[in-house]
Chains A and B, each alone.
Chain A
Amino acid sequence: MHLGRRFFTHFLLLFAICFLFCGAAAAHAVLMESTPALKSTVSGPDVPIKLRFNVRIDGSRSRLTLVAPNGSMQTLEISQPAGPDTLSAQAKGLTPGEYRLRWQVLASDGHITRGEIPFTLKQP
């Protein structure tokens, strides 16, 4: 009788069952503040964009996309970050209307989060 082995098999099975349904991932980046701010109104046509997160992020593997009032999407070029927790870019030549800034970041701990910031652009 290999009771130890049998017990261990049950134990491994329990491990597998528990982890199969656990809601765990790993730490995710949370947006702390942004320019433009959520649902704010800014002046155009050029809009500086800056997003600050609660953790270090991998800027080269993060993405910023601007959704225009007509639904067209433009990937923004991410500029040299001001800090390890910041994403910066510049949106140029925008026309007035309702925009949505979509962000996706890869945190230094290896986890991806995304979100959306709606803002309104008015004539300067």
Chain B
Amino acid sequence: MLKTIVVREILEYLKSAKFLIGLLIAIILAAAGTTLNLQDYAVRHQDYLDAKKELKSNGFEISVFREPQVLGTLARGKDRDLGAQLKMSVMNAPSRLTGHMDSGQRSGPSSSGFSAVDFSFLVRMILSLLVIFMAYNAVSEEKTSGTLKLAMSNSLPRDKLLLGKLISGLLVVLGSLAVAGLMACLLLTFNSSVSFSGADLVRVALMLAASALYLSAFFALGLFVSVTTNRPAVSLMILLQVWVFLVIIYPNLSVTAAEHLYTLPSEEAIVLQKAEVNQRFEPDIKKANAGVAKGAPTNEDRLRFNDAWSGLEAENYKIDAEFGRRQTAQMRLAEFLSSLSPAALYDQIMNRLARTDIREYERFMEGAYRLWQKHVERSRFRITDPEGFKKSSLPDFSYHSDSAAEAIISIWPQALILLLFSLIFFVLAYNGFLRKDLR
């Protein structure tokens, strides 16, 4: 009996014009968006390789380069907005990522402020709308057309009917997701400038699973509203209002709220703190500068110069790091406040899995600082043992990026909330349907 209902419902969906149009739009966007992002990634990756080869360190100043994330083609996150290069020297601890021309945000603010048209966007905005269009009249249309009471006049338990609608709807939704996802993955696989590791494939699978979870939440919501209202037009209106609120308004409001609730110290305050540190180090710096400015500095003079400047910069770095921690705390507040919105949760999960979120950036900066510390040590070494220095070399830049397992551990709260969304709304729909007046 359940199987009959499921098959029938699936066929209904597949025959409907709105589903076919929606699916077509999704496929086109998945193809176009992924292609555009792939080409952009290929160019940026080539820039990265060129920079590593050509904008080399000159011994005094070293540069590290940030490799673009391959999975950013599916969920761009912050990958494109952050700079690609970080310069440092004994007199300059790592502070900000910049472009290759030392500029800050050269790409400039985007016109709309919305994130990119990537797979994550497709699922978050387009497929969720499609899911709403599928779910809104699941029950309410049958009620108005009178077929619901006809179906129920058979020996069909109510719960089986609703379960059948849920299963068939989910299958169609997940099927559409699979088609769009397959389109994106095929484009990725057949692109020669992109290489995947096994761990990357696991991440892609997890991203698809998160997308399925997100869409199920919206389907359950749609089903619930369809059960509780009597006319399809009303359920559609309600669902669209809720969609606009959850996907567009609420994430925006929660970010604005976080900005105002957790204020960061002003630029001037930071400058003052650094000025204080500068004053503390001034006598040492003066002595060190005098030592190397005279005609023939001794090794001791050079060491003093090295130590004074690197000491000052280490303190400056602490101030910057503290400010960075507060920025991150503000961001965490925004994430917490936006937990009510499935779209925000989904966005966080996708960016975390694709390694295009801020945590990845922070690990990069930590790795850069560790390299800076090694560079400072080697600068001393260069003075105390020039022969040994010539034989050794600075280690390659690397930083600890998390494994797929660690990524799963960090996203499970958001995934759990999404799952709860689906469960709660389905349970509400179930109860509502069991008590519903079907006439």
* Same complex: no
